[in-house]
Amino acid sequence: AAPWLYQTWLRFGWPKVERATGPVDVTHATGLIPCPTDAPLVVTLHDLAFLHEPAHFSKHGVRTFLQSLERIKRDADVVLCSSQATLDDVLAAGIGADRLRLVPLGVDVEPAPAGEVARVRSLYGLPERYLLFVGTVEPRKNLRGLAAAVSMLEEPLPLIVVGSDGWGDIDVDAELRQGIDMRFLGFCLLY
């Protein structure tokens, strides 16, 4: 139902988030398509890749993202950008610097306990060393390019791909897979 909901949000500004939550002080949209609201709107943007590489998206996706960007320009009180490159792109797209904030993504790093590492390695048959790709599996993530780069290593490491299926054809040719161990684990829960 999400695609229909996004379209009603963008086209009609309905339903507002307050219909589900009651009154709120602020609404924070963590994705590119913010819900309508009467509260101040904060939007987090991770990239505007659809502007740079529209061929990596469906035509409908690009249209939807462009509509959403216009809504963000009009309605967002604050736009949080996860990188300087994104902030520069958002500024170039027409959102004023006074509404932009650079908020890099980050986490507190804690080493995983040895027993947990062993459990996950055993569960997924992972070797001691490997390369890990985590993300939605779709054309714009360029797994073909990653597989090609891994195949050029003197000693290719296994390439472990973790993430939900996205849209489009992401088949990595058998030719690219030659010489590398590439495993698709799909969406994984580790607890």
Residue 174 predicted with pLDDT over 80: no
∠ CA 166-59-76, rounded to 5°: 85
173: amino acid identity, one letter: D
Task: Please check whether residue 172 is in contact with residue 179, taking contact to mean a CB–CB distance below 8 angstroms.
Answer: no
Distance CA 91, CA 181 (A): 42
Residues 81-96: pLDDT tens digits?
999 999 999 999 999 9
100-102/78-81 β-pairing: parallel
140 or 42: which leads in pLDDT: 42
Give the predicted TM-score (pTM) of the model.
Answer: 0.67
Q: In which order are the strands placed within the sheet that holds 182-186?
A: 131-134, 159-162, 182-186
pLDDT reported for residue 87: 97
Residues 4-33: pLDDT tens digits?
888 899 999 899 999 999 999 999 999 889
Residue 150 predicted with pLDDT over 60: yes
Give the mean pLDDT of 105-125.
88
Lookup result for tokens 């993430």 = 163
Give whole-number Cα distances, 49 to 26, 32, 62, 86, 92, in Å.
Answer: 27, 11, 10, 9, 13
Residue 135 predicted with pLDDT over 80: yes
pLDDT reported for residue 35: 93
pLDDT reported for residue 180: 81
Give the mean pLDDT of 110-118.
91
Within 13 A of 112's CA, how many CA atoms are on the CB side? 10
Q: What are phi and psi of 55, to 5 degrees?
A: -65, -15
What three-state secondary structure class fits 43?
strand
How confident is residue 1, by pLDDT bands cut at 50, 70 and 90? low
